[in-house]
C-alpha cells in the first residue's frame, strides 16, 4: 500500500471530456505524455456525479499498466472564459460576490440536460429552486442526477428562487 501511495503525484489540467452515462472521461495535463483516465467513482468520491468539459481539475494520479489514472480529485474549477449566466434574471443581487450568499443544502428533484434546466428542493422548504444548465456549467458540472445532494447559492429572481452556483455536497460542507 505504501508503495502505491509513493507512486502517485498531483497534476493540474483540464477535463477533456466526461460522460456520466459511460462512467468515465479524460483529463489533459501539461507534463503528461498521455490523457489521464477519470473514472466516475473517483469523481463521486469528491462529491460530484459529473464535471463540465473544459473544467480545471487538480487530481492525484497514478501510472498503471493501463496508463495514467486519477486516484483522487482534489479541486475542480469552472471552465475558463465562461461568462456568468442569468445576471439579467436576478433582481437587486450583487452576483459579483457569490461567496457572500449562504450555501443552502438541497436535493436535486430532477434535471434534464436536453431541456437545459431542472429543479432542486432546499431541505426544510417546499418551494422548488430553478437550476439552469449554464449555472451548472459555470459551477463545473455537466449534469445532475435526481436525488443528488448539493449545496446551492440562491437568489430571488423574477420567477422565484434560482440557483446562481451549484456546489458538490462535500465541498459545500468544507466551504
Write down the domain spans for the chain.
Answer: 2-77, 95-174
CA pair distance 29, 104, nearest whole angstrom: 33
Cell numbers at 157, concatenated? 429572481
CA quadruple 109, 148, 118, 124: dihedral positive or negative? Answer: positive
**Cα distance between residue 1 and residue 31, in whole Å:** 26
pLDDT at 171: 66
Residue 43: what are its φ and ψ, rounded to 5°? -65, -40
Tell me whether domains 2-77 and 95-174 share a fold.
yes
Model confidence at 130, pLDDT cuts 50, 70, 90, reads very high
Superfamily (CATH H level) for 2-77: Nucleic acid-binding proteins (2.40.50.140)
Which pLDDT value is given to residue 30? 83
The CA-CA-CA angle for residues 110, 115, 117, to 5°, reads: 50
> H-helix or E-strand containing 170?
helix 169-174
CATH superfamily, domain at 95-174: Nucleic acid-binding proteins (2.40.50.140)
54-108 pLDDT tens trace: 888 999 999 988 889 999 999 888 776 555 555 454 444 445 566 678 889 999 9
Q: Is the dihedral of CA 8, 9, 10, 13 positive or negative?
A: negative
Amino acid at each position: 500500500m505504501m508503495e502505491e501511495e509513493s507512486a502517485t503525484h498531483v497534476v493540474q489540467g483540464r477535463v477533456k471530456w466526461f460522460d456520466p452515462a459511460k462512467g468515465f472521461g479524460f483529463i489533459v495535463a501539461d507534463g503528461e505524455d498521455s490523457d489521464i483516465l477519470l473514472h466516475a467513482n473517483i469523481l463521486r468520491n469528491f462529491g460530484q456525479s459529473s464535471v463540465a468539459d473544459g473544467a480545471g481539475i487538480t487530481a492525484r494520479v497514478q501510472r498503471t499498466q493501463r496508463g495514467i489514472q486519477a486516484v483522487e480529485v482534489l479541486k475542480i474549477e469552472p471552465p475558463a472564459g465562461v461568462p456568468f449566466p442569468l445576471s439579467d434574471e436576478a433582481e437587486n443581487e450583487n452576483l459579483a460576490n457569490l461567496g457572500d450568499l449562504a450555501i443552502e443544502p438541497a436535493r436535486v428533484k430532477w434535471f434534464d440536460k436536453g431541456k437545459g434546466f431542472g429543479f432542486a428542493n432546499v431541505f426544510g422548504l417546499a418551494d422548488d429552486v430553478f437550476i439552469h444548465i449554464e449555472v451548472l456549467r459555470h459551477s463545473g458540472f455537466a449534469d445532475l442526477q435526481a436525488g443528488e445532494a448539493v449545496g446551492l447559492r440562491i437568489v430571488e429572481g423574477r420567477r422565484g428562487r434560482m440557483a446562481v452556483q451549484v456546489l458538490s455536497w462535500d465541498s459545500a460542507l468544507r466551504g
